[in-house]
Amino acid sequence: MSADQIDPQAKRAAARQSRIPLPHGRYRLKLLRLLTRPLTRIQNRNPPSVGATESVTVPGPATDDGEARRATGGRAKPDRLDARLYLPAGDPPFPTVVFFHGGGFVLGSVETHDWLCRHLTRESDCAVLSVEYRLAPENPFPAAVEDAYAAVEWAADATDRLRGTGEIAVAGDSAGGNLAAVTALMAAERDGPEISHQALLYPGIGVDPEQESVREHAGIVLSREDIEWFSESYYRNEIHRRNPYADPINAGDLGGVAPATVVTAGFDPLRDGGKAYAERLVADGVATRYENYSAMVHGFMTMREVDRAREAIASVGDDLGDALGA
């Protein structure tokens, strides 16, 4: 599952990333979020070209036919979510991919994943709607799930606004891969929007501290302490952790979910959880393409200096384009 050694480009990128350690407390987390904003603005200069980008306001889970839903957990649900729409070159309509960023449920934004979404738009010939969602620990489960599913429901109905064909897919990396898988599961179980494909990029699903990938590769990009803190911030308790909408590996039957592409990285602590989910999908009869990049690390598809990142994005883009008829 792992190559003899990490790809040199990925190793250098991971080393640069490790200079800013991940925080394990709310105060440090706030500081890192503030620091990330100017850094991403610098990184996103001269971005890969797409047909157009637009800021989009997505109705949040607080609204249902114009009526506010009941607040949960003592916090009001948002009535709107910020998003960015990436349109391919060419003439509409385009299929739509709803994308959820990674960041352990506590970090990340539309800006941190701008480069990935632009390349995904180019490679798939689909419109990509990158959605902001509420972050933990301020907003633990199920806040991110509520936001993600509300965005997918809206995207399925907003064909004109998105210049869409009506075909919808979901995609995400790491924590966003979890949200993409969960929204696909919710749509199947609730007779919700018809999702044509799900692309799960090294998803945060089915992670167990006793897995070989955690034992051997914790400390490469993600440490055990990072994984534990993300988990505690998001799930809060064991009951939530066992909820299939928190971790879809707990679902009793995945047979009705959309066909899937699952990508893992050989030196990623999350590798075995993603592989186990791909195997569950196959066992439940879901058409699934699983690919492990044996010399890569967690998060490699956002590493601009890594050649294999672009190859992987192109491969996933092909799957999305084929599934959606782009």
Which helix (H) or strand (E) segment holds residue 293: the answer is: strand 288-293
The verdict on whether 191 is a catalytic residue reads no
Determine how β-strand 94-100 pairs with β-strand 127-131. parallel
Token digits of residue 213: 């990938």
Nearest to 47 by CA among 112, 110, 109, 115: 115
d(CA 178, CA 225): 20
Query: Which residue among the candidates 147, 272, 298, 319 is catalytic per the annotation?
Result: 298
Contact 93, 123 (CB under 8 A): no
Burial string for 179-218 (b: 16+ CB within 10 Å, else e) reads bbbbbbbbbbeeeebebbbbbbbbbbbbbeeebebbebbb
Using CA atoms in the order 306, 311, 312, 315, what is the torsion angle rounded to 10 degrees? 170
Q: Cβ distance 277 to 181 under 8 Å? A: yes
Best CA proximity match to 170, nearest among 189, 157, 151 = 151
Could you say which of 7, 173, 226, 268 is catalytic? Answer: 268
Residue 142 preceded by cis peptide, ω within 30? yes
> Is 119 one of the catalytic residues?
no
Instruction: Clarify whether 24 is annotated catalytic.
Output: no
**Catalytic residue (one of 109, 174, 231, 233):** 174
The C-alpha atoms of residue 146 and residue 142 are separated, in whole angstroms, by 6
Catalytic residue numbers read 174, 268, 298
